[in-house]
Chains A and B, each alone.
Chain A
């Protein structure tokens, strides 16, 4: 089954290797992985999607937690959540053939973000199936797609949900304040 893990990890060199290495060791292929800054200073947030047996979820989460740089791990499993993916798609299009693509983009609620006399770039955000849908339709015109860049999935639980770990770390503002305070302390100490 498809597993989706959302993790907060320290924003340090080598942390991604540690996470990836765990899946390598378990011989599990990572279907998609997105990483970026989170609401908390010093912590990145990642969404990792992989295929593994149903029971594997517990062990993967427990093993992720054993990595010293991993602060929190959520196994989204069947929980109500929103998942999105971003795709940039470059297609060959001349002024004569553009019109058709403009229509498609409209239907799929995508956007044109770059336009030249030979090509244009489509930006689309949505669930995986929508993006696949657009790509499929574009593929029907052979040779039209020049490049595809997909972000992989990003997932967030619906509703007011904070994990016990993050709650224990305090709200974002508290964290920021205490970070500032430590810096002030450090600065004071140096003087």
Chain B
């Protein structure tokens, strides 16, 4: 690991932030990052970014060496989701830059503020197919909020500062800054203040009109069966308090999107839970029966609406959203309040009075009926290990206070169903892109951002293998991260689709995996396998109390499915319910 031999005192280090100084482009990059408050970056070196690496020792920024650039992007993303700050990753030109792309797209689809720095070949040879040259600004154009190609040293600071501003303002997103090698090597006067971008221009189509607020308030007042739909925007605009006030004052139940989980306490009496494809029946029924939907910072994604043709036909719809391009995109709405969610709610709340919501809330409560009885977590221990049990126990044992980074698949949905998130930024998950391989690197980013927090990875046996190389990063960085692999021997979510929609033709979904405990051991990470529910508690406690990282390989029921499920393209009320038979009963073909 690099030692900062040349490091001087902190005040000296930051002198160039106040006094214009001549620096190389590489130094300007770091100085600008310091000025923007960056403490950690995730990256991987190579020829076209070497000047930047060479200059790192002079700056008070910690660099985390990843094992694959996709990991760097997911780490920056996890860092951002857990902390609310802008995550930063760094890669070289060509393959280094292209390896970032999946991670950038993941952040784009979930509106995560992130700045990605790539080196590129010298400006003199741009466009000549020089060694490791790739048009990364062209490649990432559709998956970044914006990107920059910087070929002059004097433009570095301005581009980087603008990148930060763009990444975190309005609807956040990833921004890429591609810097040619000669721009890194040249020198220019660094003037941090002068490089400050123009004030951010809010989207000109934002519009919160008095008439709209009045209309919304009237719809809320007169609604008999209202439901609030809360999305990621609640967390991004920090409107947790406002949404809770709205719900409590007007006694309106709240349904959450996957990315909205944590934006409203799971334990709150008005919290219905997650909506959509794997939402509980009563949540989706409530939406279908509602006469008013108040959509807050969510975008009516197809995973939450099912077919739009039959979506909430009885409901008037109020849409509070920061991105004007989302209005009427998937679902036509009656009132659009286009602006920052928190600000809009603050304007709306004075117009909203108390309401008696008890009849509707009781009706929803009644509709839960037997569903919760069939719920796996309420069933007695039969000796089998179900993923739902693992999630439920993890939640119980950690007191729900841990940050959980999940991968993508069945385990992700079980986590969303059974790990009850009380606080924002405690669930780190790829919703929009659904990127397998996300959990492990994202957890590393989250841990780096929140050093004092308990961090868990919950990954499938499939997705874990996509980025398992980052185990070494955990070791090199000495991070205390707990890893739970939900090992069902299948690409489980795909197997489930094959079972339901392709006559159980399990093509390419059975999965041979290494012994994950041995794999961890090879990295110097202790771990153990867990085969029964009785072992779960002790194993989780062992992991938590272990000094460093720890891996638990949960050998769960192989052909279990996530219920309920709305088949893609079906109506929200047409769900595949939990099987009526006791799922814990031994069947002849079990095991």
* A residues in contact (CB < 8 Å) with B: 13-14, 17-18, 21, 25, 55, 58-59, 61-63, 65-68, 72, 164-165, 189
Contact residues of B between 180 and 232, Cβ < 8 Å to A: 194, 203-205
Do A62 and B166 touch across chains, with their CB atoms under 8 A apart? no
Cβ-neighbour of B138 out of A17, A25, A68 (below 8 A): A17
Do A165 and B323 touch across chains, with their CB atoms under 8 A apart? no
| A189 CA to B346 CA, complexed, in Å | 44
Do B138 and A55 touch across chains, with their CB atoms under 8 A apart? no
Do A62 and B327 touch across chains, with their CB atoms under 8 A apart? yes
Q: Does B14 contact A (CB under 8 A)?
A: no
Do A14 and B204 touch across chains, with their CB atoms under 8 A apart? no
Contact residues of B between 316 and 337, Cβ < 8 Å to A: 323-325, 327-329
| A14 CA to B324 CA, complexed, in Å | 24
Stretch in B141-149, B386-394, B405-413 with 4+ CB within 8 Å of A: B141-149
- A interface footprint on B297-332 (CB within 8 Å = 1, 0 otherwise): 000000000000000000000000001110111000
| A45 CA to B194 CA, complexed, in Å | 28
Q: What are 25 A-B contacts defined by CB distance under 8 Å?
A: A13-B149, A14-B137, A17-B138, A21-B141, A55-B328, A58-B324, A59-B325, A59-B328, A59-B329, A61-B205, A62-B323, A62-B325, A62-B327, A63-B325, A65-B204, A65-B205, A66-B145, A66-B323, A67-B146, A68-B145, A68-B166, A72-B204, A164-B204, A165-B204, A189-B194
Closest to A25 in B: B142
Of B138, B166, B205, most A-chain CB atoms within 10 Å? B205
Query: Are A65 and B203 CB-contacts (below 8 A) given A55-B328, A59-B329?
Result: yes
Do B141 and A17 touch across chains, with their CB atoms under 8 A apart? yes
* B residues in contact (CB < 8 Å) with A: 137-138, 141-142, 145-146, 149, 166, 194, 203-205, 323-325, 327-329
Closest to B189 in A: A190
| A92 CA to B352 CA, complexed, in Å | 75
Q: Which residues of A contact B138 (CB under 8 A)?
A: 17
CB distance from B233 to the nearest CB of A (A): 16
| A72 CA to B205 CA, complexed, in Å | 11
Q: Which residues of B contact A72 (CB under 8 A)?
A: 204
Besides A67-B146, A165-B204, 14 other CB < 8 A contacts?
Answer: A14-B137, A14-B149, A58-B328, A62-B205, A62-B323, A62-B324, A62-B325, A62-B327, A63-B325, A65-B205, A66-B203, A66-B323, A68-B145, A68-B146
Q: Which residues of A contact B203 (CB under 8 A)?
A: 62, 65-66
5 nearest A-B pairs in the assembled complex, by CB-CB distance: A62-B325, A62-B324, A68-B146, A63-B325, A165-B204
Q: Which residues of A contact B137 (CB under 8 A)?
A: 14
Do B327 and A58 touch across chains, with their CB atoms under 8 A apart? yes
Do B204 and A18 touch across chains, with their CB atoms under 8 A apart? no
Q: Which residues of B contact A25 (CB under 8 A)?
A: 142
CB distance from A51 to the nearest CB of B (A): 19
Closest to B162 in A: A68
Closest to B324 in A: A62
Q: Which residues of B contact A17 (CB under 8 A)?
A: 138, 141
Of A18, A66, A67, most B-chain CB atoms within 10 Å? A66
| A68 CA to B328 CA, complexed, in Å | 22
Q: Which residues of A contact B327 (CB under 8 A)?
A: 58, 62
Q: Which residues of B contact A13 (CB under 8 A)?
A: 149
| A189 CA to B142 CA, complexed, in Å | 39
Q: Which residues of B contact A21 (CB under 8 A)?
A: 141-142
| A17 CA to B328 CA, complexed, in Å | 26
| A17 CA to B138 CA, complexed, in Å | 9
Closest to B329 in A: A59
Query: Are A66 and B204 CB-contacts (below 8 A) given A17-B141, A21-B142?
Result: no
CB distance from B17 to the nearest CB of A (A): 17
CB distance from A11 to the nearest CB of B (A): 16
Q: Which residues of B contact A165 (CB under 8 A)?
A: 204
Q: Which residues of A contact B142 (CB under 8 A)?
A: 21, 25
Q: Which residues of A contact B329 (CB under 8 A)?
A: 59
| A14 CA to B205 CA, complexed, in Å | 24
Q: Which residues of A contact B145 (CB under 8 A)?
A: 66, 68
Q: Which residues of A contact B325 (CB under 8 A)?
A: 59, 62-63, 66
CB distance from B410 to the nearest CB of A (A): 31
| A62 CA to B141 CA, complexed, in Å | 18
Cβ-neighbour of A65 out of B194, B324, B328 (below 8 A): B324
CB distance from B204 to the nearest CB of A (A): 5
| A63 CA to B327 CA, complexed, in Å | 11
CB distance from B321 to the nearest CB of A (A): 11
| A72 CA to B201 CA, complexed, in Å | 11
Q: Which residues of A contact B204 (CB under 8 A)?
A: 65, 72, 164-165
| A165 CA to B146 CA, complexed, in Å | 21
Q: Which residues of B contact A58 (CB under 8 A)?
A: 324, 327-328
Of A25, A65, A67, most B-chain CB atoms within 10 Å? A65
| A55 CA to B327 CA, complexed, in Å | 11
